[in-house]
Amino acid sequence: MKHKKAKKYGMVINLDKCTGCGSCMVACMAENNVPFRKDESDKLLSITWMRVYKLTNGKPFPNTDICYLPRPCMHCEGQHEGHSPCVTVCPAVATDYNIETGIVSQIYTRCFGCRYCMASCPYKARYFNWWDPVWPDGMEKYLSPNVSPRMRGVVEKCSFCFHRYQMAKEKAFMEGRRELKEDEYQTACTQACPAGAITFGDLNNPNHAVYRMVKPDPKHHGRPTNPNAFRLLERLGTNPKVYYLSSREWVRRVGDNYLKNESIAKKTVHQG
């Protein structure tokens, strides 16, 4: 396959390797200046760009099996490029689909907080700033200077550490290069995962690990051809750029909704 010029950055998360340690969540929060409050017991108010779900097969001991599923923003492509559920609905173009990278970004200074994008996202990957960020004394000195903190009343979400992409591009430009090497742009969660469960790269580049791991089918909006790979809610037609790998069928089945007695193989992809 010829390498296309436009990038399509994506992520592959091997659920068989994930231990649920939460390093990705911590790294993400630190990297992106994600605010937190003294009392974070109400998880429906917590901002977690990367959130780890604990899944179970529902079977009693000794057949119980669990799986941890890290869920960043899926950076959906939709049925055609830029037709992500959230991008199309935002009334003020505060959610942007970058056609050069495939990354869905949130423009905080443009967002006026209508929350329509949150309603549109089936992955609940979008978070609203119900409060202004308040950092513990001294912690503001440890904030990342490359990421702007968000104010009250706007929506935020995982950006695939887009600032890292920008910095890598700047560095490459200074060195007289146009193309980035695979390891030059990696997200914080990818680098933080101690089990190496997260892989990040260009899904359009056959030389990148993510491509080799899932073998996306360009004729079907990047649907994985690796039988162990799947995307969350494949049938909705959101076409996420985050793929999951698992050798366990029950885990792959949990990734989508199926009618009773319907097998994964028989699933049809909605083309809405």
Q: How far apart are CA 96 and CA 24, in angstroms?
A: 24
Locus of tokens 């968000």: 150
**Spatial CB neighbours of 108, under 8 Å, sequence gap ≥ 6:** 94, 148, 150, 151, 154, 156
Structure tokens at 16: 């068989």
Amino acid making up residue 244: Y
Query: Helix, strand, coil proportions of the chain in percent (round to 5)?
Result: 25, 15, 60
Q: What angle do CA 117, 119, 121 make, to 5 degrees?
A: 70
120 scored as a contact of another protein (CB under 8 A):
yes
x/- site string to another protein, residues 43 to 62, per CB under 8 A? -xxxx-----x-x-------
Residues numbered 187 to 226 that lie near another protein (CB under 8 A) are: none
263 binds another protein (CB under 8 A): no
DSSP string, 218-271: GGGTTEE-STTEE-TTGGGT---SEEEE-S-HHHHHHTS---TT--GGG-----
Among 64, 91, 218, 227, binds another protein (CB under 8 A): 91
Contact pick of 236, 243, 244, 245 for another protein (by CB under 8 A): 236
Least distance (Å) between residue 86 CB and another protein = 8
Q: Which of 11, 15, 121, 210 binds another protein (CB under 8 A)?
A: 121
**Could you say whether residue 129 binds another protein (CB under 8 A)?**
yes
Tell me if the bond preceding 62 is cis, omega within 30° of 0. Answer: yes
Among 29, 30, 52, 118, binds another protein (CB under 8 A): 118
Query: Considering the rule CB under 8 A, would residue 256 count as an interface residue with another protein?
Result: yes
Q: Which is nearer to another protein, 108 or 212 (CB)?
A: 108
Residue numbers at the binding site for another protein (CB under 8 A)? 42, 44-47, 53, 55, 69, 76, 85, 88-94, 110-116, 118-124, 126-132, 151-155, 232-233, 235-238, 253-260, 262, 267-268, 270, 272
